[in-house]
Amino acid sequence: ALLFLALFALAPILCSCIISLLYTLYLFITNESSGLASGIHDAQEFENRFWTVFAVLFSTALFFARDSPLAFGRELPSLGFFSVVAMGYGMHAWDRYSHRLDISRCHGLRRKTTGLTSLVRLEAAGQVAQ
Confidence (pLDDT) at 67: 84
DSSP state of 68: -
Q: With CA atoms as reference, report the closest residue to 89 among 53, 62, 61, 113.
A: 53
Question: What is the Cα–Cα distance from 54 to 94, expressed in whole angstroms?
Answer: 13
Confidence (pLDDT) at 97: 92
Query: At 120, is the pLDDT very low, low, confident or very high (cuts 50, 70, 90)?
Result: low
Q: With CA atoms as reference, report the closest residue to 43 among 93, 95, 85, 87.
A: 95
> Cβ atoms within 10 A of the Cβ of 81, count?
14
Q: Is the pLDDT of residue 20 over 80?
A: yes
- Which residues, including other chains, have CB under 8 Å from residue 73's CB and lie 6 or more apart? 63, 64, 79, 80, 81, 83, 84
Question: What is the Cα–Cα distance from 48 to 54, expressed in whole angstroms?
Answer: 10
Query: At 46, is the pLDDT very low, low, confident or very high (cuts 50, 70, 90)?
Result: confident
Residue at 29: amino acid letter: I
